[in-house]
Amino acid sequence: MAALTLDDVRHVANLAALELDDRDPEELEALRAELSAILEFMADLDAVDVTGVEPTAHPFPMASPLRPDEVLDVVPRERLMAAAPRTQDGAFAVPKVLEGDS
């Protein structure tokens, strides 16, 4: 588990849609160092022998319950969209999407 580079930090920020202030290199470096230190601490896990052990995705072995195929009326549209930053003609208005697919 190697330490993070600044490029790593930028890549991760990009994946997470977070902005990094490139104008302040000191702050960027501080973030890098901080994240690195935390990740280095995770090397602690190397000490654990996990041969033959399955990962736990859910605490107890469960099978998902299934829902019957019924239409349920939950909440009226106006209430659901009341918190929208912007709407138009009943749709959510968002900054323009440039790709052609839909």
Applying CB under 8 A, the residues found at the interface with another protein are 1, 4, 8-9, 11-13, 15-19, 31, 34-35, 37-39, 41-42, 44-45, 47-48, 50, 53-60, 62-72, 74-75, 77, 79-86, 88-102
Does residue 32 contact residue 22 with C-beta atoms inside 8 Å?
no
Give the CA radius of gyration of the chain. 23
